[in-house]
Amino acid sequence: MNVFLPFKRETNVVLDEIELYFNGNFIYDSYTNFYKHKVDIINIHWPESIFGFSIPSIEQLCDLEESLIEWKKTKKIVYTIHNNEPHIHINKNNKILYELIIKYADALIHLGKFSLTEFKKNYPNSINKKMTIISHPAYTLFENNITKNEARNILKIPLHKKVILVFGSVRTNEEASLIFNAFNKVKTNDKFLLISNFNVYKPLPKNLIQRVKKYINTKLERLKHILRRNTLINYDFVLNNKVQVYLNAADVIFIARKKILNSGNVFLGYSFKKIVVGPDVGNVGEYLKAANNPVFNPQKIQSIANALEEGLNYNKDKGDSNFQFVNDNYHPSKIASLYNEFFTELIYNH
């Protein structure tokens, strides 16, 4: 089975995890090159990835729509819903892009029960589309061969600290405030905050004066963060071979989002035998509560602080049970099998 994915292969290994066990081939290429390949089914994941995560023009959207119409004549289009909207560049054209994908998809894969229920409520005219739930897979491909002490020595974090890790990109000032305000309220001795990618200052504005102003403000903010006690902040993307350093240095993974549908960090944390603390929203709350990890109300700082304290006070065996939970239920071999079954049914029975 040849599955066409109309975007470039990314550094996010989630699809690599599935492909490893999938009975077929994943073909990554621009949607404009569709007819250069032998394709059995089309699987779209992140609509904005079709245009390289840049904002498409109306002309580009019209061209894509023409392609979707042509594809549907002979192939099935499957949309795996990771987000309800882009993480960045939320504007009219990207909203049109998302609506186009939903309109022309023959089938939808949701990553959790919440997503399925919400979609049926928001898109009552689409309830005749074939839908299923296939979870995010566990992570098995990241290197994981160093100890907590070795990881902390690399990052120069004292071994006795209780480390709260915010992994992934911190994109907005609102998220930054949530993180620092909640951490300040955590009443735990030896607490330590580790942020893997503080991305609030990117990208720089195009206007020269605004660029200079933002550059100066960025330097001042970074100086302020350097002076923070018990905090270590990285400002760049963490390469795949360095992921284990951050994960193994941590005691608790903190998903610092107010509005979110899915987060691979739930499954990443479980895969590294970590306790994960996150908002009780979207599919995130669903998978945290399923494994009895702490959840919080993202609108209340004290609720977040309480959940972080709870996570730090959990028995060390909790990490082992999270690891068993994610591999028993969501090992990539199981997820790949579900994709195989769903695609096969679409191709031959619909």
Q: What is the DSSP string of 9-20?
A: PPS-THHHHHHH
Examine the pLDDT at 218 and tell me if it is beyond 80.
no
Output the pLDDT for position 304.
Answer: 98
Tokens representing 108 are 């939808």
Query: What Å distances lie between residue 201 and 104, 210, 290, 299, CA to CA?
Result: 36, 12, 35, 24
Give CA–CA dist 251/274, Å, rounded: 6
Q: Which fold has domain 148-328?
A: Rossmann fold (3.40.50)
The whole-chain average pLDDT of the chain stands at 92
Q: Is the dihedral of CA 210, 211, 214, 219 positive or negative?
A: negative
Output the pLDDT for position 212.
Answer: 62
Output the pLDDT for position 200.
Answer: 65
Candidates 157, 154, 167, 141; CA nearest to 266 is 167
Q: Write the DSSP symbol of residue 274.
A: -
Residue spans per domain, the chain? 2-137+331-349, 148-328
Give CA–CA dist 272/97, Å, rounded: 35
Tell me the three state secondary structure of residue 278: strand
Given 3.40.50.2000, 3.40.50.2300, 3.90.700.10, 3.50.50.60, which CATH number is that of 2-137+331-349? 3.40.50.2000
Give CA–CA dist 11/118, Å, rounded: 29
Tokens representing 333 are 């071999």
Q: Find out whether 342 and 132 touch, Cβ atoms under 8 Å.
A: yes
| pLDDT, tens digit (0-9, with 9 covering 90-100), for 304-318 | 999 999 999 998 899
Confidence bin at 189 (pLDDT 50/70/90) = very high
Candidates 166, 335, 183, 338; CA nearest to 263 is 166
Rounded average pLDDT over 41-63: 96
DSSP string, 101-162: HHHH-SEEEESSHHHHHHHHHH-GGGTTSEEEE-PPPPP-SS-----HHHHHHHHT--TT-E
Candidates 168, 334, 150; CA nearest to 238 is 168
Query: What Å distances lie between residue 319 and 9, 41, 129, 279, 311, CA to CA?
Result: 31, 38, 39, 19, 10
Residue showing tokens 């089975």: 1
Output the pLDDT for position 1.
Answer: 95
- Helices 301-312, 173-185: axis angle to 10 degrees equals 60
Examine the pLDDT at 222 and tell me if it is beyond 90.
no
pTM greater than 0.85 (yes/no): yes
Tokens representing 330 are 């969501």
Candidates 86, 95, 82; CA nearest to 44 is 82
Examine the pLDDT at 119 and tell me if it is beyond 80.
yes
Output the pLDDT for position 248.
Answer: 98
| pLDDT, tens digit (0-9, with 9 covering 90-100), for 267-306 | 999 999 999 999 999 999 999 999 999 999 999 999 999 9
Tokens representing 52 are 């390289």
Examine the pLDDT at 185 and tell me if it is beyond 80.
yes
Residue showing tokens 């109306």: 58
Output the pLDDT for position 219.
Answer: 55
Residue 139, judged by CB atoms within 10 A of its CB (0-12, 13-18, 19+), counts as buried
Examine the pLDDT at 55 and tell me if it is beyond 80.
yes
Q: Find out whether 295 and 278 touch, Cβ atoms under 8 Å.
A: yes
Residue showing tokens 């499954």: 267
Rounded average pLDDT over 141-161: 98
Question: One-letter amino acid identity for 260?
Answer: I
Q: Write the DSSP symbol of residue 8.
A: P
